[in-house]
Amino acid sequence: MRVSILLRSGWKLTPELKDKISYYAQFPATGVSLRQMVQFGSDPSEGTLFRASQFIVEELPIRLAHRVKDLESLPNGLSDMPSILRVKNWYEQSFEELTSIPPPKLSTDVKSMLYKQQKIRTNGKTNGTVVSDPSDVTTNNNNGHHLASKDIAIKPERGSASIDPLPEDFQAEGFQDYGNIPTAMHEGTVANDQGLGKSKKSKFSNFIAAQFANARKYFANVEPNYPWPPEIAQYNAEVTRRLQKIKARHDGVVSTVARGILEWKDSRPTVKADYSIQNFLDRFYMSRIGIRMLIGQHIALNMDRGTQNDYVGIICTSTNVREIALAAADHARFLCEDWYGLFKAPDVDVVCDPNLTFMYVPGHLSHMLFETIKNSLRAVVETHGEDAESYPPIKVIVVEGQEDITIKVSDEGGGIPRSEVPYVWTYMYTTVKHRPELEDEETSRSDFKAPMAGYGYGLPISRLYSRYFGGDLKLISMEGYGTDVYLHLNRLSSSTEPLA
């Protein structure tokens, strides 16, 4: 089973690559806020994009490695399902493509313009320097890491860490300067001549890994008017090309994982999905949103520079909520008419200030509104009958508050029994009696067309999208009447990216 999936793609996981993935999986991911992403402006310089490219090439392999490890450790045989193995294969391939990008050869003058030593201040005191250039603390073409599993020493816990001064016992050993961190530390070993005991090595490894990870930033303010050499633009173009390939490869991840869950259910009808499966899917899909956000943002920054004044990458600095709500309603109504064979789907009344704008990702907002309106349309049509002469309208009401923009989607579709409300957030829960079949090849196509309903992914995924930038999605139902869905969008744009 496993071999057939690998052969189908003409790619095979080597022991060396497996060790490399295990090594990267030990490092914590670095969060990026919406506000950080718009610091680039609409027309960033090649130098700024180069620093962002380096961040992407370092950060995405860490996130991909975490997901590979999650896919390997699923309970009750879920990891062995063909579709799950296929997704794992995609993540491994993408990891290899990013970590195999050769770094450009740059002159000392160019490096000095790209990288600045930044003083770290804690409690008003300067505690040394962080060298922003990864090449100053790492060596070789594999991001400076020696990947033999026996040499792995850096094993930090996941999560973010604050910048702190070196512990006194390490300062006594001569490690006052972050820029003087032994290269071997980043190759997975501690230099023998440092004279550190075993317990101190582990403590120092964890400390340095946390400090180094925290010093990495997506946006770096680089001199915009410097005459950057062609190697800079070539590196940016190569990273963008590989990201485009990876993005296309991962288009079918959600539907393929859904198929894997179905395969698992069919092969083990007596085993029920528990909270460990639900928690895994929440983490996995939230991470996927973050990965695709970084990929989409970086591609757009490189491909669409200076073309739209109100866009920074895929982020619109003046997202018009009413326009997106109307477009999502039209899309959902068209699908409803096509699915049920209706002459006219229920109306969707949008109540919103036409001038209400805020900074957001239009694609995310469109997805959430489409899914919630689509659910309401289905509930109304199936409650009142496909042959009804008229239907009560769905109401979309948008209100701006100091912290949030709140969107309420109300329908008269009969509501949900109170005992079933908690299940609407679980994956694969649906009230559809006959679930549409997911064809094996269809799920990996980028143009895969989802049906009106049947997989139970609409609301859970939409809630993850809302939470990604500090919002939320809530549901209140009145059985026998209808349902209200509240979509809260954080308008402050300062929330930290949730890391899985």
Nearest to 373 by CA among 333, 343, 413, 403: 333
Residue partners of 370: CB distance under 8 A and separation at least 6 = 328, 331, 332
Nearest to 354 by CA among 329, 374, 325, 333: 325
Q: Residue 214 half-sphere exposure, CB side, CA atoms within 13 Å?
A: 18
Backbone region of residue 34 per phi and psi (left: phi > 0; alpha: psi in -120 to 50; beta: other values): alpha
Question: Residue 115 has which token pair?
Answer: 């990288």
Spatial separation of the C-alpha atoms in residues 360 and 313, rounded to whole Å: 11
Catalytic residue among 89, 236, 320, 375: 375
Map residue 61 onto helix, strand or coil: helix
Residue 500: is it exposed, middle or buried by C-beta count within 10 angstroms (0-12/13-18/19+)? buried
Catalytic residue among 187, 371, 412, 497: 371
Map residue 373 onto helix, strand or coil: helix
Is 371 assigned a catalytic role? yes
Spatial separation of the C-alpha atoms in residues 402 and 400, rounded to whole Å: 7
In the chain, helix, strand, coil percent, each to 5?
50, 10, 40
Helix (H) or strand (E) segment spanning residue 217: none
In the block, tokens 């049920």 appear at 340
Backbone region of residue 385 per phi and psi (left: phi > 0; alpha: psi in -120 to 50; beta: other values): left
Residue partners of 217: CB distance under 8 A and separation at least 6 = 30, 36, 55
Question: Residue 142 has which token pair?
Answer: 């594999």
Catalytic residue among 201, 217, 265, 367: 367
Catalytic residue among 374, 395, 490, 497: 374
For residue 329, CA distances in Å to 64, 144, 324, 326, 471 come to 34, 50, 8, 5, 21
Query: At 323, which amino acid appears?
Result: E
Is 375 assigned a catalytic role? yes
In the block, tokens 């991470």 appear at 287
Question: Residue 482 has which token pair?
Answer: 């209808």
Residue 152 near residue 202 (C-beta atoms within 8 A): no
For residue 334, CA distances in Å to 114, 172, 340, 397, 454 come to 50, 70, 10, 21, 18
- Indicate the DSSP class of residue 38: G
Residues marked active site are found at 367, 371, 374-375
